[in-house]
Amino acid sequence: MKKKIAILGSTGSIGKTLINILKKDKQNFEIVLLSANKNILELEKQADFFKVKNLIVTNKKSYLKLKSKKKFTKKKIFNNFLLLDKIFKNKIDYVMSSISGLEGLNPTIKIIKHTKKIAIANKEAIICGWNIIQNELNKNKTEFIPIDSEHFSIDYALNEMSQGNIENIFLTASGGPLKDLPLNKFKSIKIHDALKHPNWKMGKKISIDSATMMNKVFEIIEAHKIFNISYKKIKILIHPKSYVHAIIKFTDGMIKIIAHDTSMTIPIHNSIYQEKNKSLKTKNLNIRCLNNLNLQKVDYNKFPLVKIISKLTDKNSLFETVIVAANDELVNYFLNKKIKFIDISNKLLKFINLKEFQKYKKLKPKNIESIEKLNKYVRFKISNISI
């Protein structure tokens, strides 16, 4: 019997990686739903190859363009995620949630009740709405798998072990393209400099987050929420080769080092074939890399945003939404050449320390609307301060 799946954000890098995995095993899968924002050309190819009947295109112009095509008259094409109850009559087997940004929060939460298992690759959804996601997971008895390589590695290593046995978790960071750049050169960093990630091919936004190391701050917040681990127990180590993804030190003295090639195919493949334990052909063990891990501590002078971790409380709060929204806007300003690279860190740290936003540390997200409302407000405030 074919496994029924849905992919939210199928035209992004995570979605396309999953699609490529499924193409090699098409006879065992039925894709019930695909979604995209604007990239309808890629969506068309995917829908044709897998004969997908349900498509969601969130961009209005792209939605109307796709809906007008004659060959798609027999397909059900939607402009939002409001009619998921009509698409799914019964629970499907697997959902990949890979819509980028806070736009992915609402669809992620809404689709949980329609699937037995959900793999989430959306950082912002977990960071801002984890308590809401967790409630939905528990209520609907839906299994959750984290897809970020670091969190998948931790989950894989723990294998249902008690979190109480963990002394420390170390997440590794490549250091991005600016790790070896002298501090006095940071004032003159250009967009193309910050986008040159040494190990991963990523979109512009996440590449800039990697260059500032904000991406690693996000991953620590995710790890704290997913594994219910105090921030005091989670550390960052610079590892330029990105071969080791996480290190766990247990209270009994044992240490687990989880490594794999710099390819998202590995966590995605294992999430879809979790029960079958299907083999995946990968490169041979990289002995040279293991013999020279070159682990280093973070330089806080170059990457001051890592200091944000010390400002966080262990409780779920709306303050995380303030951080995500403010960072998104400032990165956009940099990419649009309105501010310098160092301004991202300087202005973000200053902004989140404002008394107006510190109060959100004591407020827990009650629903999706409270997160979306605060997200819009923070972006509005950023746009109205002196940039």
**What is the predicted pLDDT for the residue at 275?**
75
Q: CA 236 to CA 174: how far, in whole Å?
A: 10
Q: Which domains does the chain have, with CATH numbers?
A: 3-147 (3.40.50.720), 151-261+284-312 (no CATH), 317-387 (1.10.1740.10)
**What is the predicted pLDDT for the residue at 163?**
77
- The whole-number average pLDDT for the span 269-292 is 90
Contact 108, 345 (CB under 8 A): no
Instruction: Return the closest-CA partner of residue 129 out of 379, 271, 312, 324.
Output: 324
Contact 261, 283 (CB under 8 A): yes
pLDDT band at 135 (very low <50, low <70, confident <90, very high): very high
Q: CA 173 to CA 69: how far, in whole Å?
A: 45
pLDDT band at 21 (very low <50, low <70, confident <90, very high): very high
pLDDT band at 276 (very low <50, low <70, confident <90, very high): confident
* Residue 160 predicted with pLDDT over 90: no
Q: CA 185 to CA 188: how far, in whole Å?
A: 6
- The whole-number average pLDDT for the span 103-117 is 96
Q: Can you list the alpha helix ranges (DSSP code H) found in 120-190?
A: 123-140, 149-158
**What is the predicted pLDDT for the residue at 335?**
96
Span 182-196, pLDDT tens digits = 999 999 999 999 998
Between 65-79, 166-180, 256-270, the lowest mean confidence (pLDDT) is in 65-79
* Residue 198 predicted with pLDDT over 90: no
Give the Å distances, CA to CA, from 351 to 57, 89, 129, 287, 343.
Answer: 34, 46, 21, 45, 11
